Structure 1
């Protein structure tokens, strides 16, 4: 009989040790805090072969909070202070507090005979529930050499053969202390990973909001696009039929990867000059140069008036001259108004308008002052190849001069290692007045449009050079493909549909819809839903994925976003059916 009992105890110890090892391995791999805590309490109870257990966690307010119980009764809302609020002295009369403060396990063989600690709460619970607590073991949850982050309290150890309540086995208690220490390490690592994750996401959001703050005309684009993309991605995951029924983000890590990619989709704009992003008129650089042009017209107007007055004083002014004078003043006014209209850029310019600009620009005005005074060293260097004329001199009203050309530095050439396929203008900028005023559509020159598109080059280069962990490896893809097109004519790499994943296609739809409906662009008014969806309907299949676009409409994502972010007068579509793509991309 004795030999049989010894063999059973030996087998039990072996099983407990194996269970401890397996549990420690499982806890080290666990990424769910609630599951880890539940596992710790359950396995502790199993190792001790006891009737029940309670877990407390140390709070930032220096209290013990009830965290878990093995029984299903509700947890008390009260917390146990580690220090007396009145005196500041340690509350060492509570066994759980003593364990937390001293990082020391406490074993009590008989709760009702115990005199070291105040166990009135346990006894009151027994009276109210009819339960009888006899033996108790309180163990700190603390990494080796660290401060406790919680406390485990177990009640009523049971004899494995008879089921009688017995004192807790010291050997089993030591195993539970080891288990709790391992759990503390796992919790500490989990907290470290979570804090790093939160810090990373915070930094990413700071970068995105900084880009938005850099230009008031992009508003909250970097914030709104991720929100819209996440809504659309959720709709794609929820699809139970159709071409997207097999798509899903299957873990929180995949959602995190997509979310970070969405927040970083325009991170390259940190390199784009504000005066290019904000360019609301054709002659705008840091300021609107139409004022300089207007002053030249003012000078011509003044010269005409001076000539009239001089002729009148000399007695040579005639009625014919007065009529010609009035016509010339009217023409001067009309010419400036035409130049000013061209500067706004809200109408497309045809060939005859560009010829008219050249004719107006060829008209001469007289300059009397040295235009090299008060210039910076950089400005003077740009004029080094130009001869300084004798004063006074005549100049054209509008001109394209050598100094208007800003050469492209050699270091700004595209790195072939990244596979970019973009048509790079020869010059970095061309600020010629006629060149800018002759832009046929919008306000941006070819060089400036490339400078804006170049933000995708910098986005890709910045992100692909970053050492993302394995579960975030696709962040550069999600952030760097929203300007690619289904027909392979996008940028920066001219990727085709076989190279564009569903998340990349989602990003493209979200980016375009936000841009069309945003109320904070310098060059356009916000479009109502009907106009924005008509444009996107035409883009479906060639520019954007038709299936994603149709899901965007049929799932109601467009309308939910509109009610949150668009003005009431923009929301003029409730039934999206007429705007669906008729020929989804295969």
Structure 2
């Protein structure tokens, strides 16, 4: 309590000095002695006011520190630390009300005498069971002092828990009996947010005087800690709101990533695996003590920025047609047109058989000898065999297992140039578009389809630029869109090269390529051996398509093997 800016302790000192002055004035021989007593009174009041000013300044500094802390675990720890400093408490416990409002969960537990620090950043997990706020019959649990505080919001100040009535202190007594500790004075306060909802309970134990003796928590201290509790509750609410927004952002991003992966059953999980590899490399860079990256250290914000970019690196694919993303054969569009080609070849076979039948009937009608009939049968049998060979060849070209050399392309074009007649019309064996697709030298995509696929990087950049990322995450669009850039400038979407490429984009490029090479669920290729994937990375380093230092780090530190053991099929570890 205070009176006109002077605390109760200052008033008590003032009364003592006045009493002494009155007693001594009766026998004083000179005025000087009384004047000295007045000066002592003035000094006592000034010191008390200065002490109060220091306290206000200290609370202000604590408030600023609490409001500036964004890590919830550290914030909770600071609340207990500062409350104990202000009250000279030997021990402190912070409970948090669970989301359902049914129990108090231990968050921080500290005890100097027992040398105990649990929860927060201590690394020591609290295994104590939570305190129920309601009994089995759904009646409020007011027997426990912390639950009573959480239910009522009242501040409880107890001089000695062994003598207090109205609460069940079985727990502290059992603790004392097991450890030799002596629980005595206790101060319990509720933490209320801006809506006056109780979000936690602060419990302080054993206030100490200057000689280290246990004393009761003074009324002045109760008010001070109450102020701290209010600041702490606001800071906690802010951090929880920020964390809630982060969680929401990640949930939305991961939902979008899952939707993109779900568009294709063949790339399902690709984004998540790229995130895994990206963060493995980034965290390894942070741990290096020597070498090229010894001076590189990603901050927590930079790691989060990179992680978000990895999650969003393929967001542009949401606009790419599924039949292009999933094109597993050369003739595939919305469906695989090889079935039409196959039916056409079978139709041509029937046309040849009809011609053979017509010619045979004509020969028989003209009285031809058996040798003529044999010649007709032999000739048409050769045509049918050649047709079947060509049909099987075209079917094999549709599946991208073999590189299309000039000779193979020439044969496709030769087959396509042949004609057949149907209903009085003449048609080529293969259409122009079918020839174009079947002659793709490597893979399944035509140049135009590849450009459609490549456009996803530019679309990713454009989409992410529309999102209001905070300043600390401002480069997410740049990193996400840059995973297909190459050191030699031949990448896309911007053709960046050399030092124009940030380290984060280089890391993502290696992660994206290694995942694509080793993926075991692609429809257009069998799972690649791990050794072969490493060789291809070597070729890409030589061609200056990817960063050799990042790749060397990924391989030499064994990160690639850690990933492979977790994600790849055992057959991919075997030698060719």
TM-score by length of 2: 0.82
* CA-atom RMSD in angstroms: 2.7
Structure exhibiting the larger radius of gyration computed from Cα positions: 2
Number of the residue aligned with 2:135: 84
State whether structure 2 residue 282 is matched by structure 1 residue 241.
no
Match of 1:276 in 2: 324
1:205 is the counterpart of 2:261: no
Cα 1:135–1:9 change in 2 (3 A) is farther
Residue by residue over 1:270-299, the C-alpha shift from the partner in whole angstroms, topping out at 9 and shown as x without a partner, is 222221122222211122212212222222
> CA deviation digits over 1:10-31, x for unaligned, max 9?
2221111111111011101112
For 1:131 and 1:241, locate their aligned partners in 2 and report how far apart those are by CA, in whole Å.
49
Encode CA deviations 1:80-117: one digit per residue, 9 max, x unaligned.
Answer: 332232x4322334333322111121334565654444
Residues 1:489 and 2:490 are matched in the alignment = yes
Q: Tell me if 1:7 matches 2:9.
A: no
Q: Structure 2 matches for 1:87-486, cutoff 5 A?
A: 87-109=137-159, 111=161, 114-119=164-169, 121=171, 135-157=185-207, 167-249=216-298, 251-314=299-362, 315=364, 316=366, 318=372, 319-368=374-423, 392-400=424-432, 432-486=433-487
CA contact (8 A) 1:105 1:138 kept: yes
Q: 1:334 to 1:183 in 2, by over 3 A?
A: same
Q: 1:62 aligned to 2:102?
A: yes
User: Quick check: 1:107–1:136 contact (8 Å CA) kept in 2?
Assistant: yes
More helix by share: 2
Distance (whole Å) between structure 2 residues aligned to residue 110 and residue 19 of structure 1 = 29
Distance (Å, rounded) in 2 between the aligned partners of 1:111 and 1:506? 59
Aligned to 2:112: 71
SS in structure 1 at match of 2:477: helix
Look up the SS of the partner of 1:21 in the other structure. Answer: helix
User: How has the CA–CA distance of structure 1 residues 21 and 130 changed in structure 2, closer, same or farther, with 3 Å as cutoff?
Assistant: same
Distance in structure 1 (CA, Å) of the matches to 2:162 and 2:340: 96
CA 1:229–1:113: 2 relative to 1, 3 Å: closer
Distance 2:574 2:304 in 1: 34
Q: 1:352 to 1:154 in 2, by over 3 A?
A: closer
Alpha carbons of 1:54 and 1:360: their partners in 2 closer, same or farther (altered >3 Å)?
closer
8 Å contact 2:90–2:113 — kept in the other structure? no
* Greater alpha carbon shift after TM alignment, 261-270 vs 30-39: 30-39
| In 1: Cα distance, 2:504 partner to 2:494 partner | 17
1:462 positional shift: 1.2
**Residue 183 of structure 1: CA displacement?**
0.7
Contact conserved, 2:359 with 2:376, CA < 8 A, in 1? no
Q: Kindly state the Cα deviation for residue 499 of structure 1 after the two structures are TM-superposed.
A: 0.9
Q: More relative contact order in 1 or in 2 (CA 8 Å, sep 6+)?
A: 1
Structure 2: how far apart are the matches of 1:563 and 1:493? 35
Identify the residue that residue 546 of structure 2 maps to in structure 1.
544
Cα distance in 2 for partners of 1:144, 1:343 equals: 66
| Superposition deviation, residue 227 in structure 1 | 1.0
Mapped partners of 2:392, 2:504: distance in 1? 48
8 Å Cα contact 1:41/1:70 also seen in 2: no
Compute the displacement of 1:144 (Å): 4.4
Q: Quick one: distance in 2 between partners of 1:259 and 1:236? A: 14
Q: Structure 1 residues 9 and 169 mapped into 2: Cα distance closer, same or farther (>3 Å)?
A: farther
Task: Measure, in 2, the Cα distance between the counterparts of 1:128 and 1:279.
Answer: 69
Match of residue 48, structure 1, among 61, 77, 87: 87
Which sits farther off after the overlay, 235-244 or 108-117?
A: 108-117
Query: Aligned-pair distance for 1:342?
Result: 2.5
Change beyond 3 A, Cα 1:8–1:123: farther
Distance 1:128 1:330 in 2: 93
State which drifts further: 191-200 or 87-96.
87-96
CA distance in 2, matches of 1:285, 1:174: 74
State the Cα distance separating 1:229 from its structure 2 match.
Answer: 1.6
Q: CA separation in 2, counterparts of 1:353 and 1:189?
A: 67
- C-alpha distance in 2 between matches for 1:270 and 1:364: 41
Partner of 1:524: 525
CA distance in 1, matches of 2:482, 2:303: 17
Contact 1:265–1:459 at 8 Å: present in 2 too? yes
Q: Does 1:34 align with 2:73?
A: yes
Q: Distance in 1 between matches of 2:79 and 2:300?
A: 23
Q: CA deviation at 1:194?
A: 1.4
CA distance in 2, matches of 1:513, 1:458: 23
Deviation at 1:305, TM superposition (A): 1.8
| CA distance in structure 2 between the partners assigned to 1:202 and 1:272 by the alignment | 23
Gap runs ≥5 in structure 1: 369-391, 401-431, 574-586
Q: Aligned residue for 1:568?
A: 570
Asked whether the 8 Å contact 2:282–2:303 carries over to 1, the reply is no
Q: 1:313 to 1:544 in 2, by over 3 A?
A: same
What is the CA-CA distance between 1:543 and the residue it aligns to?
0.8
